[in-house]
Chain A
Amino acid sequence: MPPTVSMPNSMPPRLKGAYWEAARCLRCCDPPCNQGCPAGIDVARFIRQLSKGDVSGAADTIERDNPFGLICGWICPSEVLCQKDCTARKLGRAIDIRSLQRFAIEENRRAGSSNRFLTRPQLAEQRIVVEGQVKREAPTNVAASSGLVAVIGSGPAGLTCGLILVRLGYRVELWEKTDTIGGRLSHGIPSFRLDSAVLRSELEILASPLIIHRSRAFGMELGLDDLRRQGCQAVFLATGKWRENIPEIPGNQLIGVSTADQILTQEDWKSAGVKSAAVVGAGNAAMDVARSLLAEGVEMVHVLYRRTPKELTSWDEEREEAWQAGVIFHLLCLPVALEGDSAGRVRSIVCARTAPGPLDSSGRRSFRAVEGYSFELPVEMVVYALGYGTDCASLESQGIWVDEEGFVRVNEDLATNVDGVFAGGDLIGKGRGTVVQAVADGKRAALSIHQYLSRERRQGE
């Protein structure tokens, strides 16, 4: 019996108008939207189907290329992906592709269909987008597939790769460090942006074909050698980035100092009754932290950012929503110290004003503190949300090469330097950082692993 599917009862306005919005699509020749979806969804086709009233066809088009189609319909930063070069923008406004995607799948689920990625009779020819070019790959030699593949990490990259390999005929075992699957979807993205019931039922469906070992971390006690000994012929590493960057400033030991993940994945801070907080950093995680704080009753939430709006990395929509929710933004300022009270609790944060300096080696403008200009904000809590790095030590200990920034080095097939070991998702670097890109990497890795194992098998014969 398929797992039950959960759907929110209320429908946001953007979804109610879906058919009108779909009718607005221009049905472009060589549609730019298709080049903007990393997972290779044939966007123009699903919108055309929707505009003609074919909801189940639209859902099929989406899910044949993206098993996380519904989740992406909630949280994809489409403005910088499929919607970025949408031709309708030249008529004033891009098509709201993300909402159409969510609408098509939700309607199809309401009509009783499960995830089409899993229910279609065989794996569809997969569309892979690499640097804006759409490539089609129909796996060959599927009948002969056999063997065991290890997948490390149950985020969108790991789950997608595992699902495709299972559909290609491999046995897949997945190891997940925590007791929950889903990676950042379950530990990070707040429920006011992605409904938890929808997420839970979606993950349950997607995990159902896989063997998953929970609370088992890859690293010391489970290394590449152990996996090989267990019969794994290939490995896909998709452990994401979870090491939080923390600045070295006086006062970090005070009570009330925490990190983004402590706010996003833990509950204990909620009972502290804090009324004011400073969030250091202005990326997407910082926006989620700031909104989570407001949602739990923190009245004054300050976001502190070293640079100007031009350098902001958070998506416009996330920032706009944080702004609308009442978050106070301070730009061009750099925390230099935290002050505590007699009980060892944070009392305030001291910031220096910054000014733009010369371009640094990566072409980004540098910012330095300006002498004599500083200010102090009274706050009871300080949260560092300055981005994430990978757990490079444990990777390097397995002989896997990482670059200067700690990301795993891979070639275009997502193969690492170690034979039979592939990597993808947040783990492999800059320009990643989205669920849909993790899905795309999972697809690409699965097809590469299939090719690798087919080649190995031929050589063995």
Chain B
Amino acid sequence: MSRPDLKVSFCGFQCENPFLLAASPVSRFGEMIERAFRMGWAGAVTKSVSLAQDLPDHSLSPRFAGIGLGGSGLTAPYKGGLANIDFRIDQSVEKTMADYALLKSRYPDKFLAISLKAEFDQKQWQHLAGLATAAGADAIELCLSCPDPCGEGGSCAGGSIGQNPQSVKEVVTWVQSATYLPVMVKLSAHVANLAAIGLAAQEGGAAALTAINTLKSISGIDLATLSPFPTIEGMSAAAGLSGAAIKPIAQFCLDELAGEPSLQLQLSAAGGVTCAQDAIEFLLLGARTVQVTTQIMLEGYGLIEDLRDGLAAFMEKHRFRTVEELVGAIRPKLARSSKELSRRQQLIAQIDADLCIGCGRCYLACRDGAYQAIEFHPDRTVRVDSEKCAGCGLCRITCPVPAAIRFTAKEEHTEGSA
């Protein structure tokens, strides 16, 4: 079999692979994006350009907080998420657009979408759309979902527009009439019915949807100073949460969009991609491209090597020839509700004594969080009581040794013992 083909067509553009920089610090200006392009990223959605960036004042400092896993935000080594406030481009709109135009002229084969952000004001949106079109972009992405209030006097733009199907449709229509470029709409998870927002964008004439933007969050409190993070003169405010922590929510959102039969738009996924596995999952759920921010912010553009090679290896193993083939491939396996799932499968945990290191974590988990089915002996061996085990799966989640706990069908086990 020949090498799998990673190319995918998105918004009418032939992307060399499905991996794009998401609108954020990682795509702030040409020189950065250029470095990412040379390392193998297929394209970028630029940091959202807004007329507010022409204001002379500084962005907030600090503007990031790490969200620790299983510990306090400052000390926990594993950061499950990143929270940001007020990150904007520190350069005039004019210079920024010129920068992007130069970049695009140098890299005609890379996909460049310019992201825009403005208040609910037709003039602003159309002005920006005109600039983006003149810059030679391949698409325009509308940030209708930023949880951070932007614009003068805090009159909220993106966020509130994205909450309302009517205003989404209207903004898309305005932009549509000011450009010939395909329009992508960046969605927020903070809505009651995401599919309805997607349909509104479709009615307005959008070509694609990107889901999701960051989630509203409070980043924790410094107990030494009693000030919230990120601390700015002793104060803070709600921030946008991104990274691994939001991946399950982003996947749920993508499922809502892909599962809506009347929605025909192409989908781009964002939210918590940290490795090839994550990215492939999004493709299998129905995304054609996958956008990344936080993991790049934590480990650099080199992530593309893992994504690209991981996707190729996966496609080879499962005999997918093109990315198109795998987009949405597992959708038939997602039931609309857990009620539709079979109750015939009943499993039982089995512990491999050779692999087990006797830490007793499974015992504690089962004792205090499940069915008291594991015995922990003084010699540090463990045993599953097949009568009591309900096959819930908790123990395997706590075990530090991969494959030490396996699940087999319960009947097999009780056979002959009755």
The residues of A with any CB-CB pair to B shorter than 8 Å are 19-20, 23, 26-30, 32, 51-54, 87, 90-91, 111
**Are A90 and B358 in contact (CB-based, < 8 A)?**
yes
Give A23 Cβ to nearest chain B Cβ, in Å. 5
State whether B358 touches A23 (Cβ < 8 A). Answer: no
B357 to A19, Cβ gap below 8 A?
Answer: no
Contacts A19-B76, A32-B380, A54-B72 supplied; 10 other A-B pairs, CB < 8 Å: A19-B71, A26-B361, A27-B361, A29-B360, A29-B363, A51-B71, A51-B76, A53-B71, A91-B400, A91-B401
Interface membership of chain B positions 75-110, coded 1 if the CB is closer than 8 angstroms to chain A and 0 otherwise: 111100000000000000000000000000000000
B74 to chain A, nearest CB (A): 7
User: With the chains together, A379 CA to B344 CA distance in Å?
Assistant: 83
- Which residues of chain A are near B70, meaning CB under 8 Å? 23, 51-52
CB<8 Å pairs between A and B, sample of 18 = A19-B71, A20-B77, A23-B78, A27-B361, A28-B359, A29-B363, A30-B376, A32-B380, A51-B76, A52-B70, A52-B72, A53-B71, A53-B74, A90-B357, A90-B358, A91-B357, A91-B400, A111-B224
Residues of B within 8 A of A20 (CB): 77
Q: Which A residues touch B384, using CB under 8 A?
A: none
Q: Are A87 and B71 in contact (CB under 8 A)?
A: no
How does the 8 Å CB contact mask read for B376-404 relative to A, with 1 for contact and 0 for none? 10001000000000000000000011000
Q: Which residues of A contact B376 (CB under 8 A)?
A: 29-30
Whether B364 and A29, one on each chain, are in contact in the complex, defined by CB atoms closer than 8 angstroms, is yes
Measured in the bound complex, the distance between the Cα atoms of B360 and A87 in whole Å is 10
**B68 on the A face (CB < 8 A):** yes
Chain B contacts of A29 at CB under 8 A?
Answer: 359-361, 363-364, 376
B76-A87 in contact (CB<8A): no
Shortest Cβ distance from A24 into B: residue = B77
Rounded to whole angstroms, the CA-CA distance of A26 and B363 in the bound complex is 13
Question: Which residue of chain A has its CB nearest to the CB of B399?
Answer: A26
Which chain A residues lie closer than 8 Å to B401 at the CB level? 91
Q: Give A111 to B400 CA distance when docked, in angstroms.
A: 34
Point out the residues of chain A lying under 8 angstroms from B400, CB to CB.
26, 91
**CA gap between A30 and B364 in the complex, in Å:** 10
Residue numbers in B under 8 Å from A28 (CB-CB): 359-361
| A20 nearest in chain B by CB position | B77
Across the interface, which residues of B come within 8 angstroms of A87, CB to CB?
Answer: 357-359, 380
When C-beta atoms are compared, the residue in chain A nearest to B363 turns out to be A29
Which of B68, B359, B360, B380 has the largest count of A CB atoms less than 10 A from its CB? Answer: B359
- Determine the distance from Cα of A91 to Cα of B70 in the docked complex, in whole angstroms: 21
Q: CA–CA, A174 to B342, complex, Å?
A: 75
Q: What 7 A-B pairs are tightest by C-beta distance, nearest first? A: A29-B360, A53-B72, A90-B357, A53-B75, A20-B77, A26-B359, A28-B359
Question: Could you tell me which B residues sit within 8 Å of A by CB distance?
Answer: 68, 70-72, 74-78, 224, 357-361, 363-364, 376, 380, 400-401
Q: Could you say which of A23, A26, A30, A90 contacts B71, with CB atoms under 8 Å apart?
A: A23
Tell me how many residue pairs across A and B have CB atoms closer than 8 Å: 52
* B contact patch SS: loop
B37 to chain A minimum Cβ distance, whole angstroms, is 34
Q: Are B361 and A19 in contact (CB under 8 A)?
A: no
Instruction: Give Cα distance in the complex from A51 to B72, angstroms.
Output: 9
User: Once bound together, how far apart are the Cα atoms of A303 and B103, in whole Å?
Assistant: 68
B364's nearest neighbour on chain A, judged by CB, is A29
Give CA–CA (A119, B400) in the complex, Å: 38
Q: Which chain B residues border A27 with CB–CB below 8 Å? A: 359, 361
- Chain B residues near A23: list those with CB within 8 A: 70-71, 76-78
Closest to B374 in A: A29
Enumerate chain B residues within 8 angstroms of A30, measured Cβ to Cβ.
Answer: 360, 376, 380
Q: Please name all residues of chain A whose beta carbon is closer than 8 Å to the beta carbon of B364 when the two chains form the complex.
A: 29
Q: Which residues of B are found within 8 Å of A26, using beta-carbon distances?
A: 359, 361, 400
Distance A80 CA – B284 CA, assembled complex (angstroms): 51
CA distance A53 to B224 in the complex (A): 12
Instruction: Say how far B358's CB is from chain A's closest CB, in angstroms.
Output: 6
Instruction: Identify the closest chain A residue to B360 (Cβ).
Output: A29
User: Residues of A contacting B358 with CB < 8 Å?
Assistant: 87, 90
B75 neighbours in A (Cβ, 8 Å): 19, 53
A26→B398 CA distance, assembly (Å) = 10
Query: Which chain B residues lie closer than 8 Å to A32 at the CB level?
Result: 380
How far is B74's CA from A20's CA once the two chains are assembled, in angstroms? 12
Distance between Cα atoms of A113 and B299 in the complex (Å)? 36
A187 to chain B, nearest CB (A): 38
- Residues on the A chain within 8 Å of B360, using CB: 28-30
In the assembled complex, how far is the CB of residue B376 from the closest CB belonging to chain A, in whole angstroms?
Answer: 6
Which residue in chain A gives the minimum CB-CB distance to B357? A90
CA distance A164 to B48 in the complex (A): 65
Which residues does chain B contribute within 8 Å of A54, judged by CB atoms? Answer: 72
Give the distance in Å from the alpha carbon of A86 to the alpha carbon of B145 in the complex: 49
- Bound Cα distance from A91 to B400, whole angstroms: 9
Least CB separation from A90: chain B residue: B357
B76 and A53 contacting across the interface, CB-CB below 8 Å: yes
Residue of B nearest to A28 (CB): B359
Give min CB distance, A161 to chain B, whole Å.
33
Q: Inside 8 A of A90's CB, which chain B residues have their CB? A: 357-358
In the assembled complex, the CB of A77 is this many whole angstroms from the nearest CB of chain B, namely 24
Q: How far is the CA of A218 from the CA of B71 in the complex (A)?
A: 52
A346 CB to nearest B CB, Å: 53
Minimum CB–CB distance for A93 against chain B, Å: 13
Q: Which chain A residue lies CB-closest to B72? A: A53
Interface pair B77/A19, CB less than 8 Å apart: yes
Given contacts A23-B76, A26-B400, A29-B376, contact A52 B71 (CB under 8 A): yes
Taking the closest CB of chain B, its distance from the CB of A189, in whole angstroms, is 31
CA gap between A443 and B400 in the complex, in Å: 37
* Shortest CB distance A205–B (Å): 23
What separation, in Å, do the CA atoms of A51 and B359 have in the docked complex? 17
Among residues of B, the one whose C-beta sits closest to the C-beta of A55 is: B75
In the complex, the chain B residue whose C-beta lies closest to that of A51 is: B71
Q: Which chain B residue lies CB-closest to A23?
A: B77
Task: Provide the residues of chain A in CB contact with B359, threshold 8 Å.
Answer: 26-29, 87
Chain A: CB-nearest residue to B78 = A23
In whole Å, how far is A397's beta carbon from the nearest beta carbon of chain B? 47
**Residue of A whose beta carbon sits closest to that of B69:** A23
**Chain A proximity of B343: nearest CB distance (Å):** 32
Smallest CB separation, B177 vs chain A (Å): 53
CB distance from A54 to the nearest CB of B (A): 8
What is the CA–CA distance of A32 and B379 in the complex, to the nearest angstrom? 11
Q: Which residues of B contact A111 (CB under 8 A)?
A: 224
